[in-house]
Amino acid sequence: MPTPKTAVVMVLVVSCALFVESQTKPKLTLDEFFSSVSFSAVELSPDGNSVVIGTERADWDQQIFRTDLWLYRDDDKGSSLIQLTQSGHDSDPKWSPDGRWIAFLSERKTTSQKSDDSDGDKKDEGVSQIYLISPSGGEAFAVTQGEEEVHSFSWSADSQTLYFATRNPWTKAQKDDYKKEWKDAVQYRTAERGDTIFALDLATALARHAAPSKEKSEADKESDLTPGTRVVATSPLRVEGLITSPDGTKLAFVSSAINQRQEKYDDYEIYAVDLANVARAPSPANPRRLTHNQADEGKLRWANDSHHVLFSVQVGDVTGPYRDLQPHLYSVDAESGAVEQWSKDFIGPIEHYALAGDTVVTSARLGTEVQMYSVSKPSGSLHQVSNWQGTYEGVSSSSHSPRVAFVYTSVTKPAEVYLAENSTKLDQARPITSFNKLFTERELPQGKPYQWKADDGSTVEGMLIYPPGKFEAKHLPMFTLIHGGPADADGNHFEADWYQWAALAATNGWLVFEPNYRGSTGYGDKFLLQIVPVIVSRPGKDILEGVDALVKDGIADPDHLAVGGYSYGGYMTNWLITQTTRFKVAVTGAGAVEHVGNWGNDDTTFDDAYFLGGRPWEAPQRYHDQAAIFQIDKVRTPTHMVAGADDIRVAVLEDYLLEHALYSLGIPNKLLVFPGEGHGLGKNPWHGKIKVREELKWLQKYGGVPAGN
């Protein structure tokens, strides 16, 4: 046992070592921050010995976000990670049930498409088609063709057939007739057409790939039909989330609006197709509707009994009139249509889930933590099976192995893919990627949850992300960074992108406050529902009361307060600068300042009317009272704005309106509009980088905080 003197020396040595380590690690730079790799897919092979991983990263030269596939192997020869595809346009990998093939979607251009280009498009992007590649090696090859993109696909249970859905294809004659009559005019709604589900036998696809290439006729070149396919079913709506039952007798899918706008509840339902009936019928099958509700279902998976379809709901409610709840897990009986919610006693949202035999393995949120749980029956309670504090996501399991793959991250640990031997040994999982190793070599900010009391006595929580080397320091300049959604939450995870850039703001000297205001997930449906019908004023109170509490506790410097956010975070920023002048500077993006025009433009109008208690003519006073534009004369805060030129969800006109108002009032402001971008800045990585670069400059200029780098 060491003596007290020896113990003191040991403590000093350890402390000095930690200090030296922190001093030797450089801080993150802007360029490094935007070099992060995110994971779009994690798919465990049927035998559990391989994992296909989808990655997304910036390609600065091509000015695109590359989406590539990687293959991790773990067998008798050892473990390895190799790049499986390199086109930069590959996603949504699916193993064949026998493990011999990997099918995926790719937007790479074919040789004929490249030769037809007249604009020299260097981004090399085509129409999404199905490709096959062997995990044993070889080049990927297309098995579908045409101008119609594949919306969804699924393997048959015996691995011998690919089912896929596209918009109802037209012949060359139909295309020519339409172009002759309408030229480039857009027939909004009236020209829409639904989807067809096709079947393509694997043997046919392989034979066509192996056959010598022949010069196609003009009719064949213009045809959107893949040779050798047969029609399984048709739908007047778009087909998504196509899945095949384990016994191979049924398909299931979720429908959605053809124009991708949430306007009618009936557009979003789960359907089944009985494949036995298809084989006997002289004409394509009419899918059988399973659900009848006011909810947007998604993330479909067949249960092992081939009798129930599991799903989650992103917006809406399966039990009655429309209301926005947290994402819960449900199952529907494929015969009776009876719907049952799983683990009703769990108050948080189900983020991701996978099936391991008869057990559901899921990642689910409680407050600022997203942990892994398991449950074996709908009436059962979720049982926590993870031990690491942080965020688990992208869960994948195998049909013939107990292994589980997942993505894990925390505030001080960048995201990587991990592999565990089974769901009871997650704390022994090993990382199988190291794409974000650079971040482990930098001095990262530390963070912790923070709670305060709202004016109505409710407890509200958020995250505090401290500047590197200043964990739990006092009297810090504070940047309130508001998450979007609003049905989302900030927590114990590391993010590095244009939308979630708290780590970079903290590195530049700011204490970042991320409030999970009323309307956020992870605190129960009641907490989330309290945003209705006070869409900005109730969350606004929560946020300002959090700022007050941090100032009172001596954590935040009241003379150096900033605010910002994107999407719904932009809504809230626009509102808050009309409610107080305490913020010295604001950065906002893709946020509305009024609700009437936004209701008309938005592609998610379900929740617009719901949050405000009706459509514009049904609740005109509330549309007025909850809009920043009618109080904009109170603003004194220098405000930086960004927007995507092609944004439908929050039209760029909202940003022009805010800019014009601030300009007319003489308030310092700046607006950046990014061409070709929608609501998310996912087209050109330079846009997101420029956004954050300029926002940091704006914070420094008006917030009075010296640049961190």
- Per-residue pLDDT reduced to its tens digit, 453-480: 999 999 999 999 999 999 999 999 999 9
* Domain residue extents for the chain: 37-142, 147-341, 345-441, 444-703
Fold of 444-703: Rossmann fold (3.40.50)
DSSP string across 117-176: -SS--TT-EEEEEEEEE-TTS---EE---SSSPEEEEEE-TTSSEEEEEEEPP--HHHHH
pLDDT band at 76 (very low <50, low <70, confident <90, very high): confident
- Per-residue pLDDT reduced to its tens digit, 514-568: 999 999 999 999 999 999 999 999 999 999 999 999 999 999 999 999 999 999 9
Could you tell me where the DSSP H helices lie in 585-684?
596-601, 605-611, 620-625, 652-665
pLDDT band at 13 (very low <50, low <70, confident <90, very high): very low
In this model, does residue 709 exceed pLDDT 60?
A: no
Q: In this predicted structure, what is the pLDDT of residue 575?
A: 98
In this model, does residue 588 exceed pLDDT 80?
A: yes
Strands (DSSP E) found in 236-285: 238-244, 250-256, 270-274
In this model, does residue 7 exceed pLDDT 80?
A: no
3-class DSSP state of 553: coil
Q: In this predicted structure, what is the pLDDT of residue 708?
A: 53
Cα angle 312, 107, 39 (rounded to 5 degrees) comes to 50
pLDDT band at 699 (very low <50, low <70, confident <90, very high): very high
Q: In this predicted structure, what is the pLDDT of residue 222?
A: 62
pLDDT band at 95 (very low <50, low <70, confident <90, very high): very high
- Per-residue pLDDT reduced to its tens digit, 174-192: 999 999 999 999 999 888 9
Q: In this predicted structure, what is the pLDDT of residue 255?
A: 97
Phi, psi of 551 (to 5 degrees): -70, -45
pLDDT band at 23 (very low <50, low <70, confident <90, very high): low
Distance between CA 416 and CA 422 in Å, rounded? Answer: 18
In this model, does residue 646 exceed pLDDT 90?
A: yes
Which is more confident, 122 or 360?
Answer: 360
Provide the b/e sequence for 438-461 (b: ≥16 CB within 10 Å).
Answer: ebeebbbbbbebbebebeeeeebb
Q: In this predicted structure, what is the pLDDT of residue 113?
A: 54
Which is more confident, 358 or 492?
Answer: 492
pLDDT band at 124 (very low <50, low <70, confident <90, very high): low
Cα dist. 622→161, 472, 611 in Å? 54, 41, 10
- pTM for this entry: 0.93
Q: In this predicted structure, what is the pLDDT of residue 282?
A: 72
Which is more confident, 584 or 277?
Answer: 584
- Per-residue pLDDT reduced to its tens digit, 282-334: 788 889 999 999 999 999 999 999 999 999 998 899 998 999 999 999 999 99
In this model, does residue 219 exceed pLDDT 80?
A: no
Q: What is the CATH number of domain 147-341?
A: 2.130.10.10
Q: In this predicted structure, what is the pLDDT of residue 119?
A: 46
Q: In this predicted structure, what is the pLDDT of residue 215?
A: 63
Could you tell me which residues are beta bridge partners of residue 556? Answer: 476
pLDDT band at 118 (very low <50, low <70, confident <90, very high): very low
Distance between CA 235 and CA 192 in Å, rounded? Answer: 12
- Per-residue pLDDT reduced to its tens digit, 374-425: 999 999 999 999 999 999 999 999 989 999 999 999 999 999 999 999 999 9
Distance between CA 608 and CA 508 in Å, rounded? Answer: 36
Question: Among 2.120.10.30, 3.40.140.10, 3.30.1450.10, 3.10.290.10, what is the CATH number of 37-142?
Answer: 2.120.10.30
Q: In this predicted structure, what is the pLDDT of residue 532?
A: 94
Mean pLDDT to the nearest integer, 39-62: 97
